[in-house]
Amino acid sequence: MNKTTSPDLKSWVNIPGGSDFTIQNLPYGIFKYGTKKPRVGIAIGEHVLDMSFLYKKGYLDNLFLNENVFKSVSLNRFILLGKAYWNLTRNRISELLQEDNTELRNNKEDLKAALIPMVEVEMLMPVQVPNYTDFYSSMEHATNVGKMFRPNGDALLPNWKHLPVGYHGRASSIVVSGTPVQRPKGQTMPEGAEKPLFGPSKLLDFELEMGFIIGRGNEMGTSITTADAENHIFGMLIFNDWSARDIQSWEYVPLGPFLSKNFASSVSPWVVTMDALEPYKCDGPVQDTPILPYLKFDGEKNYDIHLEVYLKTEKGDSTLITESNSKFLYWNIAQQLAHHTVAGCNMQVGDLCASGTISGPTPNSYGSMLELTWRGAKPIVLNDGSERKFLQDGDTVIMKAFCKKGDQRIGFGEVTGKIVPAF
């Protein structure tokens, strides 16, 4: 455990009980405030710490930065500086915010400018994403889907326990939390139809996932080992990979999803660093099938991140519809990245890799409507008495994620998206 994650740390900033943004967290994001240009911020309690202002006023002089990387529309410029600078910055901010440090706390003028109420800022996309990869790493999810779509065959395909299945997705349609999600249109082949129909998806779904951001790339023709993988990852965020199930079931053979996935994916605005997540590492499921040497690893590589999904109707009623955990992932992020690069793929700073739907072992821990309603056969009853098989126009999906150990907690905030009618 590094000193910035110590449960003994206290801050002079007022941090409400149950807050995601404790002094042990210090996640990064991009925010806009008033007429000022976008800039880098760090979440602390109910406030955003303006990193550009701190740099300008000399609070970060000990970092020896030669340009203001914090006045930027994305985190990419800061991430490019490398892990040594990430650590220096994290240590300095932790120091500034600790309860016995008066440097910023006692400078009332600077404090007012540097610490901005979170409700007054607009959060933007945290990173510019050059490339996006979606994995399929939850055995429970893959098994559930296999049972539904291959009832007379094996739930898992022969390759599933030998490699982390994944595909390259669309990066340009990844949007920040709060962005409305338009119901997609495409071809579908309803049961009993003789030819495909065209129109809005009727089986719109969410997928509960976590994503990680590449912080250091590799040269084309080289690969990243499981032992070194975490040194190439800057941090993690919540990822909602919206899915049009009826479009997907018609188009996915033989190459996989296309229109059913490329219309939108939503991310939370705060990126939690791997340093902050270190105390929450844990063992993952036992991998009971022998794997090739490049996928083997030592130590704890999964993360104990509690996940929740709420469905909010236009009436304003909100229902907790599932709870899961990233520790259920069969393939961990080190294995995902090692497999991604083993053929020589060159990762780039800002690349985003998502876990695939994270489902747990029980029906109330499934990570998609497809599973929760078992393909529509078992509708969900919401708190207002209405039912859902899949998502309706006007529904808002809210995903939350946090780690907790005793009284210590860090979190990711939330990612939200409201379904609006097809264009």
Residues with a catalytic annotation lie at: 141
Classify residue 269 as exposed, middle or buried by CB count within 10 Å of its CB (0-12, 13-18, 19+). Answer: buried
Task: Name the E strands within 216-336.
Answer: 233-240, 243-244, 265-267, 272-273, 281-282, 302-303, 306-312, 318-325
Q: Which of 393, 378, 372 is nearest to 207 (CA)?
A: 372
| DSSP three-state, residue 184 | coil
Phi, psi (rounded to 5 degrees) for 209: -140, 165
In degrees, rounded to 5, the angle at the alpha carbon of residue 127 between the alpha carbons of residues 121 and 129 is 145
**What stretches of 211-258 show up as alpha helix (H) in DSSP?**
245-251
Spatial distance between the Cα atoms of 97 and 87, rounded to a whole number of angstroms: 16
> In Å, what is the CA distance from 266 to each residue of 52, 205, 250, 355?
26, 13, 24, 14
Q: Which of 213, 410, 211 is nearest to 326 (CA)?
A: 211
Tokens of 242: 């919206």
Q: Which of 316, 396, 350, 355 is nearest to 76 (CA)?
A: 350
Spatial distance between the Cα atoms of 52 and 342, rounded to a whole number of angstroms: 38
Residue pair 271/363 in contact (Cβ under 8 Å)? The answer is no
